[in-house]
Amino acid sequence: MQHPHFSPEILQPKQHEIVNPISWDSFRFFLAPLESNTDLALRALCYRYGADFTITEMVRVQALVRKNKSTWTRLCFDHQTPTLIQLLGNQESEIREFLQHFIPPQQFYGFNLNLSCPSKSIVKLGLGCALVKRVAKVQRIIDVFREFQYPICLKIRLGLNALEKQQKVYLRLIQNTTPDFFIVHARHGCQKYIEPADFSIYSECSETGKIIVANGDIMELQQIQYLQSCGIQGAMLGRGAIANPSIFQFLKGAMLEIGGQRSISVAQTTSIIQIKSEYLDLAKQYNSPEHCQRNVLRRFEQDFRTMDQNILQ
């Protein structure tokens, strides 16, 4: 395991390294960042079961700059799992200060800026989905990452509320900013997860010519086929992946079968007993926080069987 590549005690600027961008030669699957769930152990497990890329839990730039050690522990990597770091911040000066001292670990594939968190406490600070309508501000933040030649993508919602969605602020952001790609969660900030994601927006997002990754309620092969028909180039799975990490393997296998290639069969989906055993081994190996282990195991117990039925339909 690689520990955070930063020494809070030594504030000397570091020589940055060029990080290779993600290749889009095939449809890509991402594990979504979920607070107190997607620690290093779960990310490694999902990569083992077919996720192409994983993303850390949300990390506040302000806490990194203030040298908060518990925040820096979220940036632990292993040597195998391709990972992006999700940052929450809106101050160019703080982001620049962090990047001056950051050294990319192995399997680091860039940064993801959070423009999707709907929490009221986050939105009040002008962070998360409150940033979706601030096109010029977001571009200035992107430019800071470009100064250091780091890949940068945005995870966005459809706006802060229904009005912003109706005004298509998300589309203006996609059209007028220049990250490497966009991860579009197809809900606005006031919607609850019980409300379905709006897949109808993906065609217009794709028509911008930008690289788009879909996010929100993605659990079935038919959804992947629809996204591909819209020109979407990847999918990010959150709750479905935590319920059953082997969903990545299943969806990839089903896509290959449709393409006429031999792949895993439905009968080879992984049991909850095996998933739990593998996760606990990884949690021990990487010294996962107890609260993360409790959360992940509870989700396995609550959601695994329902999820397993859904992906087999």
Instruction: Return the sign of the alpha-carbon dihedral for residues 251, 252, 254, 258.
Output: positive
Q: Looking at residues 223-230, what average pLDDT do you find?
A: 97
Question: What pLDDT is stored for residue 143 in this prediction?
Answer: 98
Distance separating alpha carbons of residues 9 and 37, to the nearest angstrom = 29
19 part of a folded domain:
no
pLDDT of residue 251 exceeding 70, the answer is yes
CB-based contact 75:47 (threshold 8 Å) = no
pLDDT of residue 260 exceeding 90, the answer is no
Structural domains in the chain (count): 1
Q: Looking at residues 61-81, what average pLDDT do you find?
A: 89
Report the share of the chain in percent with pLDDT over 70: 86
115 part of a folded domain:
yes
Segments forming the whole domain that contains residue 132: 28-311
13 part of a folded domain:
no
71-80, 131-140, 176-185, 239-248: the lowest-pLDDT one:
71-80
Across all residues in the chain, what is the average pLDDT? 88
7 part of a folded domain:
no
Question: What pLDDT is stored for residue 259 in this prediction?
Answer: 60
* Residues 19-43 pLDDT 10s: 767 999 999 999 999 988 999 999 9
Question: What pLDDT is stored for residue 312 in this prediction?
Answer: 42
3-state secondary structure of 209: coil
15 part of a folded domain:
no
CATH code: domain of residue 269:
3.20.20.70
pLDDT of residue 293 exceeding 90, the answer is yes
Structure tokens at 142: 């992107």
Pairing, β 212-215 against β 181-185:
parallel
Distance separating alpha carbons of residues 237 and 159, to the nearest angstrom = 20
Instruction: Return the sign of the alpha-carbon dihedral for residues 242, 83, 5, 185.
Output: negative
CB-based contact 158:174 (threshold 8 Å) = no
55 part of a folded domain:
yes
227 part of a folded domain:
yes
pLDDT of residue 10 exceeding 50, the answer is no
CA dihedral 98, 102, 107, 108 (to 10 degrees): 30
* Residues 151-184 pLDDT 10s: 999 999 999 999 999 999 999 999 999 999 999 9
Output DSSP code: residue 139.
Answer: H
Q: Looking at residues 118-127, what average pLDDT do you find?
A: 96
Amino acid, single-letter form, for residue 63: A
pLDDT band at 8 (very low <50, low <70, confident <90, very high): very low
* Residues 72-94 pLDDT 10s: 888 888 889 999 999 999 999 99
pLDDT band at 267 (very low <50, low <70, confident <90, very high): very low
239 part of a folded domain:
yes
